[in-house]
Amino acid sequence: MRLNPLYNALLNRLTALWVAQPDKPEETPESTLKALYFCAAGIPISVQKASRETIPELDDNAQKRLKILIEKRLSGVPLAHITGRQQFLDMELLAGPEALIPRIETEILGRAALAIAKSLADKRGTITIMDVCTGSGNVALGIAVNESRSRVLGSDFSEEAIMLARQNAQHLNLDKRVEFRQSDLFAAFESDEFYKKMDLITCNPPYIPSTKVGSMDPEISQNEPRLAFDGGSLGITILARLIRESPKYLKPNSYLCFEVGLGQGKAMEQRLKKENIYSSIQSYVDNADQVRALSAQVA
């Protein structure tokens, strides 16, 4: 890159004004610049993929587009909203303001759920999974991509998020095996067709207390949907409903697996135990040894 004056000039500008986003460690000045290079060239790819590629040559018009994209990013527009792409569990997903941008931390949930799904499929042959609060469909599709013996249902309260999830299913050629419905948690599945039929239920719920949503980083609070973050007065409204309502849909000896916010792990583990229907409770931690996901088996 030393021989590319434009690249070096733009990298210096990005570096000088850079504000790191702790929830997006994959975004650095250099990886961001590479992703915007591809975007300006009309090749939308995720920042993760761009970081591994050689940047394309840009004609004069593309260079003008690149400079505009740089300023857009510096103004606080999320990179994934500019490129329209975000990687999750090695998938290239469509991204936009309709749903939460998939985070690396949610891959903890994704990998845990996938391990459970593979174990259940080995024992049962084919399995049915439900992913509530599905957002862009990243967890649901991550399981479907990596476990071909699964049928996956997804729901989200937001119709806009469901539209994006369906687009992602088509983008990955999974729309024959993955179905998304607009629903308040399980509401769209209230029938004998789904009661006690699930092998695994997954969820990345909103878990930020309502009073704290407004004080989140403006890049998040001003660009991503509040529904994806607002977990009610204590941040556990959806988590509590999830734990309470999931057994109605799970087969015997099947699993619930969900993400939790920082500091919520122990409280949610205690809530699982109080239901007197869950066992084999397991926690999954991040690199700082903080619990970020839990799984439990129903009797």
Is it the case that residue 2 has pLDDT exceeding 60?
Answer: no
DSSP for 234-295, written as a single string: SS-HHHHHHHHHGGGTEEEEEEEEEE--TT-HHHHHHHHHHTTSEEEEEEEE-TTS-EEEEE
Average pLDDT over residues 268-277: 96
Domains of the chain, earliest start first:
5-83 (1.10.8), 106-298 (3.40.50.150)
Q: How far apart are CA 293 and CA 83, in angstroms?
A: 29
- pLDDT (0 to 100) of residue 214: 84
Q: Please state the φ and ψ torsions of residue 8, each to the nearest 5 degrees.
A: -65, -40
Q: Cα 7–8–13 angle (5° rounding)?
A: 100
With a CB cutoff of 8 Å and minimum separation 6, the contacts of 52 are none
Question: What pLDDT does 293 receive?
Answer: 98
pLDDT at 291 over 70: yes
Rounded to the nearest integer, the mean pLDDT of the chain is 96
DSSP per residue over 53-112, as a string?
A: SPPPP--HHHHHHHHHHHHHHHTT--HHHHHSEEEETTEEEE--TTSPPP-TTHHHHHHH
- The predicted pLDDT at position 1 comes to 45
pLDDT(3) > 90: no
Average pLDDT over residues 117-145: 98
Q: Which residue has the tokens 């920042």?
A: 47
Q: Are 172 and 145 in contact (CB under 8 A)?
A: yes
What local confidence, expressed as pLDDT, does residue 4 receive? 85
Average pLDDT over residues 107-121: 98
With bands split at pLDDT 50, 70 and 90, how would you rate the model's confidence at 215? confident
Which of 180-184, 217-221, 257-261, 288-292 has the weakest average pLDDT? 217-221
Q: What average pLDDT does the segment 67-75 reach? A: 97
The pLDDT of residue 159 is above 60: yes
Mean of pLDDT values over 103-107: 96
- Taking 70 as the threshold, does the pLDDT of residue 20 lie above it? yes
Query: H helices within 3-42, ranges in order?
Result: 5-16, 29-40
Helical H segments across 192-234, by residue range: 210-213, 218-221
| Cβ neighbours of 154 (radius 10 Å) | 29
**Lowest mean pLDDT across 46-50, 174-178, 198-202, 218-222:** 218-222
Give the pLDDT mean for 133-142: 98
pTM for the model stands at 0.94
- Residue 5: predicted pLDDT: 87
Q: Percent of the chain, pLDDT > 90? A: 93
The SS3 assignment for 298 reads strand
